[in-house]
Every structure is written in C-alpha cells, then in structure tokens.
C-alpha cells in the first residue's frame, strides 16, 4: 500500500523566510501527489498537484513543489512566508491507473507557524 | 465554493446512541468519501462511494456504515457511538476519482461522544 511521510509535525518560520515542508512517499510506481492546506475550522483546500509532465508544480498563494523521483519526495516550498500562511498542510498520494478503487492517502500533517 | 455541505456542523451525543451525518453535493460528482481527522493521524478514510448504491470500506470502517441512495447525498452512520469516535468528520467529492483535480472537501462535522 502507498503511504506518505511528512517530516515535522510543527514548523515555525519568521515572516519573510523560506517555507519548506517535507513530504516523502513510498510507492514502486510514481503516484499522483497533492498538497492541501487547512485553515482553522475549515475543510481542506487543494494547493497544488502533480500528475504528469513538469516536475516543478506551481500552486496557489505562491507555493510550489517539486517531484523528485530519485528521492521519492514532493516537498512544498514558498520563498517568503506571510502571516496568512499559518495553517496545517497535508501531503497526499493516489496510485496511478488503478480505477475506482483508488483513494487519496494523507500524511499526518504539518502545522506551519509564522512569527513576526 | 464547490457545492458540498455537511450537516450538522457540530454535534454532541451520548455513548451508545446512533448518529447520522449527512453530506450533500450539488456538483453531480460520481465519487464521495468520508474521512475522519484526528491529531497525529491526519485524515483516515472511513468509507467511500463510486456511484449510487456502490460503496466500499476504507481503512477505519469498523463501527460505521454508509448509504448512498441518490447521487447528491452520502450518509455516514455511527451505529452505536463510542468515545473513540469523537472526531472531526470530513466529506469529500471528486469527479474522476481524484485523478485530475484531487478532492473537494466539505467544512467538516465536529462530533463529540460523551
């Protein structure tokens, strides 16, 4: 079964600093990969996704992620953190070409704190 | 928003009572999912549906049942609520099983079992 590991349940950065949230997946075949963001008392919102094509994916709010097959990673980055980025972030994986039985599997989440 | 609503938003219930949570969508999407969110566990799949009356179990389905009698509604039932089922429950929908656009999530139902 596929799984994702998010390193660091809590990450704290200063406003204006680089944001790096780590995600590694385990799969014999590269899957579809997603990053979601959850603001307090809300549902999850899709930030970006990798399915095929370019390995550097740009999402909303200035975030981007790079799929690295050799490292089985899909780390999320943002060059300059803003206070509004404080939220919980989830990496998710979905197998490719496995029909209706496929579901998203989520990591345990990383809570991002942004300080002044 | 994507036209997915969950009801109720909050519920407190007693141990041993049945509870039904409702997910309603206006997008006519084929796939619907129920997840629970708990600290340290992320989101875990309870049940999902790939069409009317077509459902299957997820990784944490014990103690839960679901029904989907029409495209727009997906019901999650806790047959006899236990304190371990205190959680935030999220419904999600997708058009293509998540291949193209991932999932769209509802705002969640916070359930407390006392």
- Bridge-based pairing of strands B104-105 and A87-94 is unpaired
pLDDT at A54: 86
Among the residue ranges A23-32, A34-43, A61-70, B84-93, the one predicted with the least confidence is: A23-32
CA separation for the pair A106, B44 (Å, rounded): 7
User: B41: which 2 tokens?
Assistant: 């566990």
Give every CB contact of residue A24 below 8 A, 6+ residues apart in sequence.
A4, A5, A7, A71, A72, A73, A74
Q: Report whether A12 contacts A20 (CB < 8 A).
A: no
Facing B103 at nearest CB: one of A100, A101, A104: A104
pLDDT at position A98? 61
- In angstroms, the separation between the Cα of residue A64 and the nearest Cα of chain B is 16
Residues of chain A numbered 40-69 and touching chain B (CB < 8 Å)? 41-46, 49, 51
Q: What is the pLDDT of residues A42-51, one digit of tens each?
A: 899 999 999 8
Cβ–Cβ pairs < 8 A, chains A and B: 62
- Give the C-alpha distances (Å, rounded to integers) separating B88 from A14, A40, B4, B11, B103: 30, 12, 16, 10, 17
Residue B1 has pLDDT above 60, yes or no: no
DSSP single-letter state for residue A31: -
Q: Which of A92, A43, A37 is nearest to B37 (CA)?
A: A43
CB contact under 8 A, A46 and B102: yes
Looking at the complex, does the CB of residue A88 fall below 8 Å from at least one CB of chain B?
A: no
On whether the CB atoms of residues A111 and A9 are closer than 8 A, the answer is: yes
Q: Is B102 within 8 Å of A108 when comparing Cβ atoms?
A: no
* A93/A37 Cα distance (integer angstroms): 15
Which residues in chain B touch residue A101, judged by CB atoms under 8 angstroms apart? 56
Q: How far apart are CA A21 and CA A7, in angstroms?
A: 8
Neighbours of B109 (CB within 10 A): 23
Residues of B with CB under 8 A from a CB of A: 31, 33, 35, 40-45, 48, 50, 56, 58, 90, 92, 97-108
What share of chain B in percent tops pLDDT 90?
83
d(C-alpha B22, C-alpha A57), whole Å: 35
Q: Which position has the token pair 């404080």? A: A86
The SS3 of residue A60 is: helix
Band of residue A100 on the pLDDT scale cut at 50, 70, 90: low
CB crowding A49-71: b at 16 or more within 10 Å, else e = bbbeeeeebebeeebbbebeeee
B102–A90 CB contact, under 8 Å: no
A 4-23: CB under 8 A from B: 9
The whole-angstrom separation of Cα B100 and Cα B29 is 13
Please list every residue in chain B whose beta carbon sits closer than 8 Å to the beta carbon of residue A53: none
Select from B114, B103, B111 the least CA-distant residue to B7: B111
């Amino acid at each position: 079964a596929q799984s994702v590991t998010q390193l660091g349940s809590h990450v704290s950065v200063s406003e204006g600093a680089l944001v790096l949230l780590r995600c590694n997946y385990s799969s014999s075949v590269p899957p579809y990969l997603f990053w979601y963001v959850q603001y307090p008392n809300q549902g999850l919102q899709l930030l970006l996704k990798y399915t095929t094509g370019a390995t550097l994916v740009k999402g909303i709010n200035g975030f981007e992620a790079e799929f690295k097959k050799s490292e089985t990673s899909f780390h999320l980055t943002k060059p300059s953190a803003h206070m509004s980025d404080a939220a919980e972030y989830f990496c998710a994986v979905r197998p490719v070409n496995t029909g209706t039985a496929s579901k998203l599997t989520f990591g345990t989440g990383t809570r991002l704190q942004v300080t002044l | 928003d994507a036209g997915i609503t969950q009801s109720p938003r909050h519920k407190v219930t007693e141990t041993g009572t049945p509870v039904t949570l409702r997910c309603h969508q206006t997008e006519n999407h084929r796939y619907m999912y129920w997840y629970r969110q708990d600290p340290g566990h992320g989101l875990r799949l309870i049940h999902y549906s790939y069409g009317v009356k077509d459902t299957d179990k997820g990784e944490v389905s014990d103690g839960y049942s679901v029904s989907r009698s029409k495209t727009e509604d997906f019901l999650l039932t806790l047959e006899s609520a236990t304190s371990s089922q205190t959680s935030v429950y999220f419904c999600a929908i997708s058009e293509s099983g998540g291949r193209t656009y991932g999932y769209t999530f509802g705002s969640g139902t916070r359930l407390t079992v006392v």
